[in-house]
Amino acid sequence: MTSTSKTVPFVTVDVFTETRFSGNPLAVITDARDLSDAEMQRIAAEFGYSETTFVLPPRNPENTAEIRIFTPVTEVPFAGHPNVGTAHVLATAGSVFGRSVGDHLRFEEKAGIVEITVSRDAEGKVSGTTIRAPGPLSIGASISPSVIAPCIGLAEADIETSRHQPVFASVGLKFILVEVSNLDALGKAASRLDPLTALRSAHADEDCDCATFLYTWVGPDHVRARMFAPFDNVTEDPATGSASAALGAFLTTLGTAPADRQMLVEQGVEMGRRSLIRLRISTRDGQFETAEIGGSSVTVMHGELGL
């Protein structure tokens, strides 16, 4: 039997769902003070989820905590479901590093300060968390349908371009946003590594891992989506709040976002892990101002990880 020199506590939650074993799983290391960067990366790889978060004391005592976010292969500056899930864990615990946690949290992250609001039910239990994306809208290069189609296993005719071309966009983490023609096209999509590698090389100046967010409209304020990030060792993600926020923000530039009211992003259906992301886009004078990402989470496991 191999002995361990230290242990770290963890909680796992399913995010953007009220049903255990649905939504997007997340591991939260609730006290990462004794971990090196390399250890954080190894832990994230061991869990194998799309992201794992590591909670540290805040650098500024006015904030709740510093949060670091790792995919199985790299650290990222911001992501949606890790913030929603981590806020759920800390608000449920009621304290972090000896300080009480209320219903308004502030996370320090590499992309900036992420503000979170906690909702509770009549019994005082956490029923949902809503985060505000930290970055302004950044729009990069457009991509020809003939170039993106083979990257996602579709025909050029499956790419819908009446509203916009496939495009790089970010409000904290960059994605390629691709509207597809219908649910059939969405369902048959699959990431193809060779053409995606060529695309990433051709757009090296975007500094993006070419995570691809596909969506199609199923109602006036409702889209179904899928997200592939093979370079992050994420074959498919059940729920991607940061990509949903980027999409909502980008749509404001087209005049097609439900400004100042809620939009629903449904994701993970094809994986058997249906997720519901509540998105609220605010504008000022017709221009994007903020993106808020909300949803429910449910606790699955908790324990200690030996190192």
Give the residue numbers annotated as catalytic, written as ranges. 51
**CA angle centred on 283, ends 278 and 289, rounded to 5°:** 85
Residue 26: both structure tokens together: 């997340």
Gap between the Cα atoms of 229 and 48, Å rounded? 13
Residues 214, 180 contacting (CB under 8 angstroms): yes
Q: Name 123's Cβ contacts closer than 8 Å, sequence gap at least 6.
A: none
Number of helices and strands in the chain (H, E): 6, 20
β-pairing, 212-219 vs 174-179, is: parallel
Stretch (H or E) spanning 306: strand 297-306
* The pair of three-digit structure tokens given for residue 2, joined into one six-digit string: 């191999």
Q: What share of residues in the chain are helix, strand, coil (percent, to 5)?
A: 25, 40, 35
Give the burial string for 87-108 (b: 16+ CB within 10 Å, else e).
bbbbbeeeebeeeebeeebebb
* Nearest alpha-carbon partner for 83 in 288, 302, 294: 294
218 Cβ contact partners less than 8 Å away, ≥ 6 residues apart: 183, 224, 266
